[in-house]
Amino acid sequence: MNSMRIDKWLWAARFYKTRAMASRGCDLGRVEVNGLRAKPAREIKPSDKVKVEVEAGVFSVEVLELSQMRGPAADAQKLYRESDESRATRQKVAEMKKAMQEFAPLPERRPSKRDRRHIIRFRGEG
């Protein structure tokens, strides 16, 4: 196998839970191959550079292998190699998110019925 669709590879490499989600990510412009936005049917091959934006962060990876099947996470990580800059950036963003949680502590209790009415009114839903 010399090449395959990017949406299939993203699913097999476990960047997305379903192939439909991988296809949607491509349509929304969250996937780039060699610096160009990728449509779901874009063919990729080993040695291509792929940039993927997901909830966990932005991954900049090099395609090492192609796989039609989705396997365990350990096997999926063998399909690509993440750059050191990408890994460092994701760790820095995760640390910032964790630090921001300290400034926005969780409420002490659940909202009462009156509090919920105020919240709904404030959001303009009611």
Q: Compute the average pLDDT of residues 50-55.
A: 94
The answer to whether the CB of 51 falls within 8 A of the CB of 60 is yes
The answer to whether the CB of 49 falls within 8 A of the CB of 62 is yes
With CA atoms as reference, report the closest residue to 83 among 116, 49, 106, 55. Answer: 49
**59 bridge partner residues:** 52
Report pLDDT for 81. 96
- Count CB-CB contacts under 10 A for residue 31: 26
Average pLDDT in the chain: 92
- Higher-confidence position of 5 and 124: 5
pLDDT in tens, 88-121: 999 999 898 888 887 877 788 999 999 999 999 9
The model's pTM: 0.77
- Domains along the chain with CATH numbers: 4-123 (3.10.290.10)
With CA atoms as reference, report the closest residue to 113 among 123, 102, 121. Answer: 121
